[in-house]
Amino acid sequence: MQLSPWIMAGRPRTLTLSMTPVIVGAALAWAVERELHWGAIVAALVASMFIQLGTNLHNDAADSERGGDGPDRVGPPRVTASGLLEITTVKRGAIVCFALAGLMGLYLVAVGGWPILLLGIFSILSGWAYTGGPMPIAYTPLGELFVVIFFGLGAVCGVYWLCTGALNATAIETGLALGLLAGAVLLVNNHRDAEADARVGRRTLAIVAGPSVTALIYAGLMLFPFALLLPIGDRLPRGFVWPAFIALPAALGMIYYFVREPRGRGFNRILVRTVFTQFLFGILLSLGLVL
């Protein structure tokens, strides 16, 4: 069995989107309550990673099944559409990933109770529904909202709850900040693929909004997290949040490139750099919260 097609299907360069909010949630729990639950943090990290992997694999197979990754695709090649792996094989891989996330979830539920059970169930179901079922989330304007909720609010607040057994406005605002940056990544993807997506019946936010409004939405998704640092800092010593502002020039640079770059393969670089901006913001914020 070749490993490289599975690596391609898993999209490892984007995995920090699910891992960074877990790290930030743990750092915030330490900064606010001086509480950490290392077992839960590691389990949440593994579970979130496998949910994203399962979502990516199912997305690869389901899009190919629906004819969404044709020869006019400008994004990175997909393994099922390219014939590197069979659709059924990739779907089985997605099921394995979701099952592994569920196994981690059993321990997390034992630690965090019914709120974590609900979060886990909805996370896995949403990962499947992103490109599965009669009305896939990815074929509607709600994809970015899905990412904000599960790759930001759910991850940060879930880990904070696991460590402290509580929830507060600071955790919600921090989760929103991470989620908005993750949503910007999906918006880049959907803006790049808007023409091909429209031909197969998708109605993503980028298609509905049009290029000019999409650029404004992207700017908002990239900048509002830095505005959220102000109310977060009002509840914490300001020194805790200022390191995250070091990522602001990177965010401004991404907005510049988004506006100037013609829609096409150049957005592959913008996507990877937007992923890095979210990672940089999260790591710098975590360092400020911990140190």
Three-class DSSP labels, 151-164:
HHHHHHHHHHHHHH
User: Which has more pLDDT, 67 or 2?
Assistant: 67
Report pLDDT for 221: 98
Is the confidence at residue 171, as pLDDT, over 80?
Answer: yes
Structural domain boundaries, residue 78: 4-290
Quote the pLDDT of residue 1.
47
Nearest to 160 by CA among 284, 34, 244: 34
The average pLDDT across 40-65 equals 92
Residue-level pLDDT at 25? 97
* pLDDT at residue 69, rounded to an integer: 61
**pLDDT tens column, 88-130:** 999 999 999 999 999 999 999 999 999 999 999 999 999 999 8
Residue with tokens 């914020």: 285
Per the CB < 8 A criterion, the answer to whether 277 and 181 are in contact is: yes
Q: What is the reported pLDDT for 150?
A: 94
Domain CATH for 90: 1.10.600
Rounded Cα–Cα distance for residues 230 and 210 (Å): 31
Of residues 66 and 39, more confidence is placed in: 39
Average pLDDT score over the chain: 92
Which of 203, 104, 199 has its CA nearest to residue 158? Answer: 104
Q: Among candidates 151, 167, 30, which has minimal Cα distance to 112?
A: 167
pLDDT mean over 257-280 = 94
What letter does residue 169 receive in the DSSP assignment? H
> How far is the CA of 105 from the CAs of 92, 132, 171, 210, in angstroms?
20, 22, 21, 39
Q: Which two tokens stand for residue 233?
A: 């800092």
Please give the Cα distance from 60 to 200 (Å, whole number).
15
Quote the CA–CA distance of 90 and 61 in Å, as a whole number: 6
Q: What is the pLDDT of residues 176-232, one digit of tens each?
A: 999 999 999 999 999 999 988 888 888 999 999 999 999 999 999 999 999 999 999
Q: Which of 279, 142, 171, 281 has its CA nearest to residue 223? A: 281
Q: Where do the H-state alpha helices sit in 34-168?
A: 38-65, 87-112, 114-129, 143-148, 154-164
Q: How many domains in the chain?
A: 1
Where is average pLDDT lowest: 78-87, 118-127, 173-182, 274-283? 78-87
Give the N- to C-terminal CA distance of the chain in Å, as an integer: 45
Q: Calculate the dihedral angle through the C-alpha atoms of 254, 143, 55, 67, rounding to the nearest 10 degrees.
A: -100
133 in the Ramachandran plot: left (φ > 0), alpha (ψ -120 to 50) or beta?
left
